[in-house]
């Protein structure tokens, strides 16, 4: 094995040599998210085409059709059911992933997590500042400040999986960790800034039900591990009650998904831990429910949220007269990579905190561009920021779709070049090893 160059000899890596198990886990996640990302884009495109076709009225009639039980505050439109209900499944997966990272993954060690956490914070603050600066003077428009702070983890990792066959494992883990932390920040923003009134009784009852859910999952983790149907028959009904109560409390119901995910145990009971113990319940649930989230929940949410009447080319161009559109596009396409790169640079000025030697700054910029794909969570925040049917509401969606496409294209172009470079380096190394033999 060749010696490490003197340039890196004294570096204490923020991302130490990645274990084979961790690399395989990340690769598997990327592989699964690729299919979900393709479905996400396909249904969003269908919705956009349908909403701008001669049959647009039928799309909006379907999206706005109401059903549910009014006394429980559950008479919602189909679009609202997708945003509040189906997306809770996605956030449940986010909760599982977050807990796994904090308990057994990269976020359990400060030295490992500090760079992507700092990068995620920078990728939230800078876009928000850019947006607020662009829309300065409009109190109504400023409500959308959080729209460009989000990263669509499914979309971003799908793009990376499609183009990043030879990119370093450290870069993939950096993106995944950054996106997970970004989701955590987005969850906090939704819970704190987009909750107008709170009804105490439903909130307390919801927390009690979530606690019961967690106690059952913790106490009978082996039972749910061995019997896949048990979670559907026992935990799912309890989770639905918790979701309904949190929805009635005034807090966005997707937060219930995160809280429920946090209660699922990551590790086996102490008596059962060992080399051959296998994955914990959180990882098992993630494996079981990810197809439901990536294949149904998120694409359907995108289908009912992405459909906006643009008004043809003229309408698209005129939308850019709205500062909301300019603010979102600039914040996602420019603010995200700028914030992530600046925050990463700042934290690596601290002694003993450095990037992995396999990474270059241009790779970090590429990840920053990928993080500019807001899409799912940005669309959700747009729904919460502006009244449905208002000019800002529709324009924000146009901006999110535009910025996400531009960010994806720019990231693909840059990271594809980097992928070719890493592949060439790998081929040279392989040839050298063959010659040595």
Higher pLDDT, 316 or 215: 215
The answer to whether the beta carbons of residues 377 and 307 sit under 8 Å apart is no
> Looking at residue 18, what is its pLDDT?
44
pLDDT of residue 1 exceeding 60, the answer is: no
pLDDT of residue 200 exceeding 60, the answer is: yes
If pLDDT is split at 50, 70 and 90, which confidence band does 427 have? low
Query: For the chain, what's the residue count?
Result: 437
pLDDT of residue 5 exceeding 70, the answer is: no
What rounded mean pLDDT belongs to the chain?
A: 82
**3-state SS class at 403:** helix
The answer to whether the beta carbons of residues 419 and 166 sit under 8 Å apart is yes
If pLDDT is split at 50, 70 and 90, which confidence band does 188 have? confident
Q: Which of 1-5, 155-159, 236-240 has the highest mean pLDDT?
A: 236-240
> Looking at residue 2, what is its pLDDT?
43
Alpha-carbon span 432 to 437, nearest angstrom: 9
If pLDDT is split at 50, 70 and 90, which confidence band does 306 have? confident
Query: For the residues 82-103, what does the mean pLDDT come to?
Result: 85
Higher pLDDT, 272 or 184: 184
**3-state SS class at 57:** helix
pTM: 0.77
Beta bridge partners of 76: 67
Q: What percent of the chain stands above pLDDT 90?
A: 30
The pLDDT tens digits of the residues spanning 336-385 come to 999 999 999 999 888 778 887 788 899 999 999 999 998 888 888 998 89
Vertex 19: Cα angle to 18 and 25 (nearest 5): 95
pLDDT of residue 14 exceeding 60, the answer is: no
Beta bridge partners of 354: 13
> Looking at residue 92, what is its pLDDT?
92
Query: For the residues 71-75, what does the mean pLDDT come to?
Result: 79
> Looking at residue 16, what is its pLDDT?
42
H helix or E strand, kind and range, residue 247: helix 236-249
- Cα–Cα distances (Å) from 205 to 199, 208, 246, 248, in that order, read 11, 5, 8, 10
> Looking at residue 244, what is its pLDDT?
92
Vertex 403: Cα angle to 303 and 366 (nearest 5): 115
Vertex 170: Cα angle to 165 and 171 (nearest 5): 60
Query: For the residues 163-187, what does the mean pLDDT come to?
Result: 80
The 8-class DSSP code of residue 67 comes to E
Alpha-carbon span 403 to 183, nearest angstrom: 19
Query: For the residues 32-45, what does the mean pLDDT come to?
Result: 76
Handedness of CA 49, 54, 56, 61 (dihedral sign): negative
Higher pLDDT, 204 or 34: 204
The answer to whether the beta carbons of residues 143 and 396 sit under 8 Å apart is no
The pLDDT tens digits of the residues spanning 218-246 come to 999 888 888 889 989 999 999 999 999 99
Q: What's the N-to-C CA distance of the chain in angstroms?
A: 13
The answer to whether the beta carbons of residues 246 and 208 sit under 8 Å apart is no
């Amino acid at each position: 094995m060749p010696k490490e160059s003197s340039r890196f000899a004294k570096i204490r890596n923020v991302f130490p040599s990645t274990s084979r198990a961790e690399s395989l886990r990340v690769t598997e996640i990327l592989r699964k998210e690729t299919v979900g990302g393709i479905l996400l884009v396909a249904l969003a495109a269908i919705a956009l085409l349908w909403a701008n076709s001669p049959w647009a009225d039928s799309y909006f009639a379907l999206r706005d059709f109401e059903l549910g039980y009014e006394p429980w505050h559950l008479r919602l439109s189909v679009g609202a059911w997708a945003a509040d209900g189906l997306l809770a499944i996605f956030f449940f997966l986010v909760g599982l992933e977050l807990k796994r990272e904090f308990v057994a993954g990269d976020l359990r060690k400060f030295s490992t997590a500090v760079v992507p956490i700092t990068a995620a914070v920078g990728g939230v603050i800078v876009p928000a500042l850019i947006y607020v600066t662009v829309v300065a003077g409009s109190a109504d428009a400023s409500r959308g400040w959080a729209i460009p702070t989000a990263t669509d983890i499914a979309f971003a990792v799908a793009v990376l999986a499609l183009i990043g066959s030879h990119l370093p494992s450290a870069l993939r883990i950096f993106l995944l960790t950054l996106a997970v932390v970004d989701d955590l920040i987005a969850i906090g923003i939704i819970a704190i800034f987009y909750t107008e009134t709170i009804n105490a009784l439903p909130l307390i009852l919801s927390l009690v039900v979530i606690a019961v859910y967690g106690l059952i999952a913790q106490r009978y983790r082996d039972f749910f591990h061995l019997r896949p149907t048990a979670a559907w028959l026992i935990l799912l009904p309890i989770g639905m009650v918790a979701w309904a109560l949190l929805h009635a409390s005034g807090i966005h119901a997707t937060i219930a998904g995160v809280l429920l995910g946090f209660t699922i145990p990551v590790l086996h009971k102490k008596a059962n831990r060992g080399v051959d113990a296998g994955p914990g319940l959180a990882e098992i649930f993630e494996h079981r429910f990810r197809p439901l989230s990536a294949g149904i929940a998120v694409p359907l949410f995108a289908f009912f949220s992405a459909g906006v009447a643009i008004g043809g080319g003229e309408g698209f161009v005129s939308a850019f007269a709205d500062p909301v559109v300019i603010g979102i596009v600039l914040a996602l396409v420019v603010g995200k990579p700028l914030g992530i790169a600046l925050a990463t640079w700042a934290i690596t000025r601290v002694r003993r905190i450095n990037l992995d030697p396999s990474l270059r700054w241009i790779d970090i910029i590429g990840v920053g561009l990928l993080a500019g794909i807001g899409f799912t969570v940005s669309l959700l925040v747009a729904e919460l920021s502006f009244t449905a049917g208002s000019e800002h509401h529709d324009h924000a969606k146009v901006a999110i779709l535009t910025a996400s496409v531009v960010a994806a294209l720019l990231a693909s172009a840059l990271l594809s070049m980097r992928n070719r470079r890493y592949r060439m380096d790998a081929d040279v190394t392989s040839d050298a090893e063959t010659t040595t033999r």
